C-alpha cells in the first residue's frame, strides 16, 4: 500500500482538494485499496473546520463527495507513517521541514514536481480567488503523480 499525505497551510482548500482528486483517480483506476490518501495543514488556524465552500462546490461538480473532511494539523508521526508527503508551495515545504526537522528520507516534494512543471506552486485560492485554476492545477499534478507512482 502506498501512503500519500497532501499538505497546505490550512487544510481547507488545496490539500483536501488534492486528497479527494487523487482518491477519485485511484478509485476510477480500480486501485482504491492500493493507496491510503489523506491531507493536513502546517498551521493551526483552521483545525476542525470543513473544506472551504468554493472548493467543496468544485469537487461536488466533479462528482466527488468530501463532506466528512475536517482540517487537521501535521503531526511529527505523519513523517514516519506516510511514504510521500506532497506540499502545494515552497512556503508549505519550508514550514513542514521546520516541523519535522528536515527531510532525511526525501519524502517531501511539491505536487507539480511530479509533472513537467517542476518547481511551480499550486497558488492558494484563498488569496487569488481562482478556484477553477486551482482545481485544474491540482488535477494536472495529481494525474502526473499517479502516472509517476504507477511507473515505480
Would you name the residues annotated as active-site residues? 8, 14, 124
Give CA–CA dist 4/114, Å, rounded. Answer: 13
Cα 88 to Cα 9, 27, 42: the distances in Å are 9, 22, 11
Give CA–CA dist 90/118, Å, rounded. Answer: 12
Q: Which three-class secondary structure state does DSSP give residue 110?
A: strand
Give CA–CA dist 85/54, Å, rounded. Answer: 25
Amino acid at each position: 500500500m502506498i501512503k500519500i499525505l497532501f499538505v497546505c497551510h490550512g487544510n481547507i482548500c488545496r490539500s483536501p482538494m488534492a486528497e479527494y482528486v487523487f482518491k477519485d483517480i485511484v478509485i476510477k483506476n480500480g486501485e482504491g485499496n492500493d493507496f491510503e490518501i489523506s491531507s493536513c495543514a502546517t498551521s493551526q488556524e483552521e483545525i476542525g473546520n470543513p473544506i472551504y465552500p468554493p472548493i467543496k462546490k468544485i469537487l461536488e461538480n466533479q462528482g466527488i463527495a468530501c463532506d466528512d473532511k475536517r482540517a487537521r494539523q501535521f503531526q511529527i508521526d505523519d513523517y514516519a507513517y506516510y511514504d510521500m508527503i506532497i506540499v502545494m508551495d515552497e512556503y508549505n515545504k519550508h514550514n513542514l521541514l521546520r516541523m519535522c526537522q528536515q527531510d532525511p528520507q526525501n519524502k517531501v516534494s511539491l505536487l507539480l514536481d511530479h509533472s513537467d512543471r517542476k518547481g511551480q506552486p499550486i497558488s492558494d485560492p484563498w488569496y487569488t480567488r481562482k478556484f477553477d485554476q486551482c482545481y485544474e492545477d491540482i488535477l494536472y499534478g495529481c494525474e502526473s503523480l499517479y502516472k509517476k507512482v504507477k511507473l515505480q
